[in-house]
Structure formats: structure tokens, C-alpha cells
Structure 1
């Protein structure tokens, strides 16, 4: 009964208004109030500050600075090898596997449309049909910067307005089409394993989604799908190496990563498993040994 209430309450809450109000607080330099709230948050969610580049709560002028904190370089090692793709985030595997034509598995009893997820643009979705996907959930305690699983050159970015449901496991199991109905930012890359789509999914009280090449994409929230195209073969091209930061959430959410058919194989993945930035995520299929 409590779970039913938690899920259905989200349908009537003013989620965008609530998220923007929280965003204002998270961006405010409120001195002792900010520090006290950061300490409360660390204790409540058992955040491991020993991994942070700046481990003391007093260092952070705003809650956003704390939430998007950097890690010490030595605490996450990037797995080497030209055929190795790495985990893009600290989090937990929600689901992964095959994309069946235009259908992606969300949770028991729920699938959603690949094309809808990628902004309703068939030309952008086509390369990923019958490919692979992985959905990774970032909990409040996690590191909230997103990195590149493999080197890539940016070709497109799409902003899709939408809902701001929570993306925790309970909601994923009960809200149909969750990741294809929430607000999101999608980045498309050309990589050595074909096209890759990185979908940054917004959620309740996610105050901001940013990319390293464009800064803050949302807020403000738009009312229409927006599509940016990028030159990929000149000096101005956005080229990122494996392990480079590509974006960040100010307050937690989920990423969905999509690959083309017959390009990669996931390595030792299980639903529910913990992910750590830099660990082996998948292998390029052409180079995978039997």
C-alpha cells in the first residue's frame, strides 16, 4: 500500500515546480545552512567522502558544488585496451541487453520505444534498432559526473521536454515508459564501435543536466524537442577520449546507453550489480575472444 501511494503521488505532485525550487536552494550560497544540509545528506545517504577530492563539507559553497564533487584521480582507474569499453558512471545496473526492433526493456511488464526515448526522431533511432542497451541508476550517494565509455566524436544533441518522475527502482517497476516520458538530454557519438547514444534522464528534483560542450542544457525546461547538429570532421569537432567527462547531473538520475547491432558484448553484467567508473563495461565484438 505504501509503495502504491509513493508511485501514484508522483502523478499529482507539481514535479517541475518542486524541482526548480529545490534547484534554487541547491545553487544558493547559504553559508552555515548549506554546510549543515550537506552534513545531513552525507550521513543520511552514507556518502563516502574519503573518495572526494575535497572531503570536507565546509569546502563547498553550494549544495550543487558538493553534489557534483570531483573524485581523487587515484580512486577510479580507467581500464585499458582498445577493445574495452568502460563503465560511464558510479551507480547500479537497472537493466541491460538487446533492443528488440524498437523496444527496450524497462522492468517486468514494461517496455518502451527506442524512437520515443531518442526524441521521436526515426533517423537518429534507426542505427540502434536490434542493438544493445544498458540502463544505469545513480543513487543520491553516488558520484554524479558522467564519463565516456569509449572515445567518440559528437554528432548530435537532442533535448526532449517531459515529466520528472522519480527514476528509482520502485518507480521504474510501476510507471510505464518512464525513461521515454521524463525530460532528457541525448548525445550521439561516432565511436570505434559505431554509433553510441548517451541518454541523460531527468527526474524529480534533478535541478540541472549539463554537458561539457554546451554547459547547462536544462533548466529552463523547453516545451519543444530541440536538436543540435555538430561538425565531426573539422577543428571545432567535439572529440572526447575514453574516460573523459561528458556531462553531469545536479541531483541524481539515470543514464541509458545505446549501441548499434553486432558491435559490443557486455562483460559480466547482472541486473542490480554496482558499477564503478572506469571498470570494464563491454568489449568490442569484433575483438572479443571466444
Structure 2
């Protein structure tokens, strides 16, 4: 048995949520000497580059969570053209979505419908589209931004386990992203529907959005919220953040012309991932309208 497989297996009996909530309490600690010690140790261990932070002084943060979700200088993350990465991290997988199935890792696939909360109608527009997965490591910038401009249509909280999210678990825990706690945000864009799925993980104490604040932890039931008043975010705008670790899965309702990107390559928030043109409305002589890719 490999070390990676053993690491994945020992997580099954662990009290995932209890561990994460306890870590979350510690990460909110505001005792100066203790939070300074924790932050400095974290910076040294993960070689965090504080020169890119809007506030480069580690002692200026009120608690570890404030440090972990620190803002970046605008010039540190320029926004490229086309489709851009929503976060710093590792591009663990990307490509086409075939018949509602996404690739998690080599030899591992999972259901789009399950990922998006089990509603076949919600998943239908994405069944023949594209997807990309970005894994955020502890050293990365942990705010999530819009890869395209869009208007929020629906938000769905999906309860679940919270296995650690990394290469070891992606390789050995079946349907990892579709079984972990997650937040599904559906946007309408000029390039078609976009689903931003923020996946929870071990010791991720909470997921936040800019329009609703802290979302998780909630309850053991799927919670669906629709928005009558439009919430529109420009490309590159912040849409959420993780209080410790995790992964973003982007699902697109059409095929994306990804650049020649290497699996497991490092990407920065705002870095171009590929091209996707607007959907054009074609008006026929009989007055009916149809959509086509631009």
C-alpha cells in the first residue's frame, strides 16, 4: 500500500467537521503573542511571499484567518484576456465534460449532477461543456475571483464530508469533489452559464462570498437560494474566499478553447487559461431566435 493511499484511507473514520471547527476556532484567536507565533511559523514553513500582500507586515493582522485571506496588491495579480484563473493554485485538471462526467484524476471520474447538488435540471446546461479545477495549497492567495464577468442566478449549499483535498486524496477517494461539503454558485455570462463550485476540505473552517458573507458551516440539508435582485461581478472581481485550503471547480456550458496548459502546473489568479467568445443571438426571418458561439 502506498503512502498516498494510506493517507486517504485513514481519513474515512475521522470526525472531519469537528476537527475543522476546532481549527477554525484557533484560527480566530486574537491573543497577540499566540497568533503572531502561528503566523510567523506558517510563513516560514510554506515560504509565503509577503511582499505581494497589500499589508506586508504579518503582525498587523488581527488573527490567523485575516492573514490567511489577506488581500494582494493590484499589480501583483494583473487580469489577462480571455478566461482567467479564479485563484492562485495548481491546475489539477481541465478539459471537456462528456455526458455529465468530469475528470478528478487519472482513472477517477465523477458526476456533474452530484457535484452541482443532485438537480438534473441545474446540471443540464453543463453536460456537454468544459471544466477546470484549481487546487489552492496552504501557501497560496486564498481569495476566489471571477474568471469571466457574470450575474449570479443561484447559490446552493451542499453538505458533505470534508476530506483533505490534495493529489493523494484526488487519486484515492472516489468522487472527492462531489462528496465534500461545497458551495455551488451559478452565473449567467455572455459566454453562457458558469458554475463556480467552492469545495470544502479538512480544516477549512468556512467559505465566504462577497454578497452573503460566511456560508459554511450550515446544516445537513441542501439549501438553495435564488436572487431576484441582480448581483453582477466583473471579470477579476472577488467572489469569495476560503478560511484555510481547498479547491475551485469551474463548469462551463460550452466548449472552452483552453491554451496548451500542463496538468499540475501552477497558475496565478488572473492568469489566462484560454479563450471563449460571446454567445450571439441570431434573428431569423420568422422572428425566432437561436444562440450560436461567437
Considering the TM-score relative to the shorter chain, is it more than 0.5? yes
For residue 168 of structure 1, what is the aligned residue in structure 2?
166
Q: Is the 8 A contact 1:99 1:133 kept in 2?
A: yes
Q: Deviations over 1:223-261 (max 9, x none)?
A: 110101112xxxx31000011000000001000000012
Q: Distance in 2 between matches of 1:202 and 1:269?
A: 25
- Is 1:68 matched with 2:69? yes
Check the 8 A contact 1:265/1:285 in 2, yes or no.
no
Moved beyond 4 Å, runs of 4+: none
Return the match for 2:265 from 262, 273, 278. 273
> 2:11 is matched with which residue?
10
In the alignment, is the contact (CA less than 8 A) between 2:4 and 2:169 conserved in 1? no
The TM-score normalised by the length of structure 1 is 0.93
**Separation (CA, whole Å) in 2 of partners of 1:124 and 1:248:** 24
Q: Shift in Å at residue 3 of structure 1?
A: 2.5
Whether 1:143 and 2:136 are equivalent positions in the alignment is: no
How far apart are residue 286 of structure 1 and its match?
6.2
Unpaired stretches in structure 1, ≥5 consecutive residues: none
Tell me the SS of whatever aligns to 2:248.
Answer: strand
TM-superposed deviation, 1:57: 1.2
1:241 to 227, 234, 246: 234
- Contact 2:209–2:240 under 8 Å retained in 1: yes
User: Which deviations, in whole Å up to 9, do the C-alpha atoms of 1:34-72 show, x marking residues without a partner?
Assistant: 011000001111111111111111011110000000011
Pairing of 1:185-224 with structure 2 (within 5 A): 185-219=183-217, 221-224=218-221
- TM-aligned CA deviation for residue 194 of structure 1: 0.3
Aligned to 1:229: 226
Which structure is larger by alpha-carbon Rg, 1 or 2?
A: 2
C-alpha distance in structure 2 between counterparts of 1:49 and 1:186, whole Å: 31
Describe the shift of the 1:4–1:164 C-alpha distance in structure 2 as closer, same or farther (beyond 3 A). Answer: same
Distance in 2, Cα, partners of 1:140 & 1:178? 19
**Normalization by structure 2: what TM-score?**
0.92
Query: Equivalent residue of 2:10, what SS?
Result: helix
What residue ranges of structure 2 are gaps of 5+ in the alignment? 280-294
Whole-Å Cα distance in 2 between the matches of residues 285 and 68 of structure 1? 32
Candidates 242, 260, 268, aligned match of 2:253: 260
Can you list the C-alpha shifts for 1:145-169, whole angstroms capped at 9, x where unaligned?
A: 0000111000000000000001111
Aligned length in residues? 278
Alignment of 1:19-38 (within 5 A): 19-38=20-39
CA RMSD of aligned residues (A): 1.2
CA distance in 2, matches of 1:3, 1:239: 41
Is the 1:184–1:202 Cα contact (8 Å) retained in structure 2?
A: yes
* 1:282 has 2:274 as partner: yes
Give 3-state SS (helix, strand or coil) of 1:106's partner: strand
2:109 match: 111
Could you give the per-residue CA deviations for residues 164-219 of structure 1, whole angstroms, max 9, x where no partner exists?
00111111000000000000001000001100000000000001101110101002
Output the CA distance in 2 between the equivalents of 1:227 and 1:75: 35
Taking the aligned partners of 1:212 and 1:145, their CA distance within structure 2 comes to: 10
Q: Please report how far the alpha carbon of residue 285 of structure 1 lies from its aligned counterpart in structure 2 after TM superposition.
A: 4.4
